[in-house]
Amino acid sequence: MPVDHYENFPVASVLLPRALRRPVELIYAFARQADDFADEGDWPAATRLEHLAGFGAELDRIEGGAPARTPLFTELAPVIAAHGLPIPLFRDLLSAFSQDVVKPRYENFAEVADYCRRSANPIGRLLLHLYRATDARNLSCSDHICTSLQLINFWQDVAIDFRKDRVYLPRDEMAEYGVSEAQIERGETNDAWRALMSFQIERADALMLAGAPLGGRLPGRIGFELRLVIAGGRRILQKLRACESDVFRRRPVLGKGDWMRMLFRAAARR
């Protein structure tokens, strides 16, 4: 998994049916480019929001039946039409990335969860539309998995995000456990930090387990890919536990040995 915002999400790998690989790549290209508008380079906030608004205007053109003006959307438009992909899900992604530009702190977990609802859950829902598997039970499981993956990415990246002046740890929970932003800046991992992060890790794991049955319901290679992603997310959580959440000195990532373990678990439906 490459080190970026979507590293904990599935990719258009050879595991997927060939007909779905390019549509999945395009969904990720949309999300990746939009996220880069919010995160990368030295643009001022106004420029970032302007670029994101440009993506929104392209969605307006698709919705209105007008031709797209950029190569990405020229290719994405027929995919949206062929698979009935809901454009509001793409708009939710833009909403979350725009929020990243203007909102660097979160007062409580409800705010964080709402961000995940727009930054992560749309990816899973769009994939389920591609797979034609959008019953209510599947959508609910997908939301649990995607929210968990987003949270895992946050807890991997506490130090990285702090350097961008972003803190996704809920302020009320930081206060409850006695952790301050000054402590994050110092990279101090005392008992209070470990307790706070243990709480975050277990909540993310509970969400993942709540969504995991979806990996057994989706058929063939699609289900296998999802089980692999679930195994990868849970493996990162194990690494966070093992390092006692010291993400300041070494960011937990997946290595070759982890992939073998994940492949075994996905094949064994565990």
For residue 60, what are the contacts with CB-CB under 8 A and spacing of at least 6? none
pLDDT tens digit sequence for 178-226: 999 999 999 999 999 999 999 999 999 999 999 999 999 999 889 999 9
Tokens of 17: 């049916």
pLDDT score of 238 more than 60: yes
Fold classification of 105-270 (topology level): Farnesyl Diphosphate Synthase (1.10.600)
Distance of CA 47 to CAs 50, 91, 141, 212, Å?
5, 18, 36, 39
pLDDT tens digit sequence for 102-152: 999 999 999 999 999 999 999 999 999 999 999 999 999 999 999 999 999
For the ranges 5-14, 240-249, 260-269, the lowest mean pLDDT is seen at 5-14
| DSSP label of 107 | S
Domain ranges for the chain, please list them: 14-102, 105-270
pLDDT band at 5 (very low <50, low <70, confident <90, very high): very low
pLDDT tens digit sequence for 101-114: 999 999 999 999 99
Q: Which helix (DSSP H) or strand (DSSP E) does residue 158 occupy?
A: helix 158-163
Give the pLDDT mean for 147-167: 97
Query: What does the pLDDT read at residue 270?
Result: 62
pLDDT score of 162 more than 70: yes
SS3 103: coil
Give the pLDDT mean for 47-69: 97
**Model pTM?**
0.93
CB-facing half-sphere around the CA of 211: CA atoms within 13 A: 28
